[in-house]
Amino acid sequence: MKQQLLIALAIAGMQGAYAQLADVGPAHRLLKGVETEMYYPTISADGSKILFTTENYQGLRCYDVNDNVVKVLSREPRAGLAAAEHFTADDAVKAETRGSELLITRNGVSKSYSPVESYAGYLWASVSPDQKKVMFFAAGKGIFITDLNGNVISELGNYESPSWYGNDFVVAMDAKDDGHQFSSSRIVLIKADGSEMQPLTRPESMSMNPSGSIKAGKVVYNTIDGMLYEIEVKLH
């Protein structure tokens, strides 16, 4: 009886290890039958369009979710690196990284900040939908969020490829590798203050590079073999 109680408590502890921030639907594959590689998806704010590129960022394509049509926006090398600009061109606040510098541009005026020490540099800078916060990844340190003056206001942990899910949540990639190849990768949902995290996919799914639309209640991502998926994520 005592052993059964200990087992039950252990299971309960494992189930409660992660916060339940949202209800998550099953993964749904997009563009079935399309054999070409599809990586680094970026979903529009309303969830109606998804940009994607190849593994080496060759070209840029747009999937219209409502019409179920894919259009080629560019065939240029490295065009996929500028995917996010298609959905943020008119924003008054922009953010980008250059080495270990975070550049925040407000109404055309740019200022450089180095909020976190990182010899390997910063990546994946983005501005929150309400234009009040900036998020970036510091190599070897993890994801950080600053105010518009470069002051760190929260640290989210050593996850990668972060994307805003509204103003108060972030979706990111939690991957494990040996320096040469990935052994697992999952998508996680994190509170923007860094206080709670919930896995959205399983590690063995090899799910990567998430992008979220809180208006549509969806998160899209690619798998390691270049297929696109979406899941419904309804915040509590």
Identify each DSSP E strand in 107-168 by its residue range: 109-113, 122-127, 134-138, 142-146, 152-157, 160-164
The domain ranges of the chain are: 22-85+166-236, 91-158
Amino acid in the structure at residue 92: A
Order across the sheet with 160-164: list the strands.
160-164, 169-177, 182-191, 197-199
pLDDT tens string 37-93 = 999 999 999 999 999 999 999 999 999 999 999 999 999 999 999 888 888 878 899
8 Å CB contact between 199 and 14: no
Global pTM exceeds 0.85? yes
Is residue 230 within 8 A of residue 219, CB to CB? The reply is: yes
pLDDT value of residue 17? 60
Q: Are 208 and 191 in contact (CB under 8 A)?
A: no
- Token pair for residue 135? 């998020």
Mean per-residue pLDDT of the chain: 92
CA dist., res. 201 & res. 203, Å (int): 7
Confidence of residue 180 (pLDDT cuts 50, 70, 90): confident
Rounded to whole angstroms, the Cα distance separating 97 from 209 reads: 18
What are the pLDDT digits (tens) for 210-221?
Answer: 999 999 999 999
Q: Is 235 left (phi over 0), alpha (psi -120 to 50) or beta?
A: beta
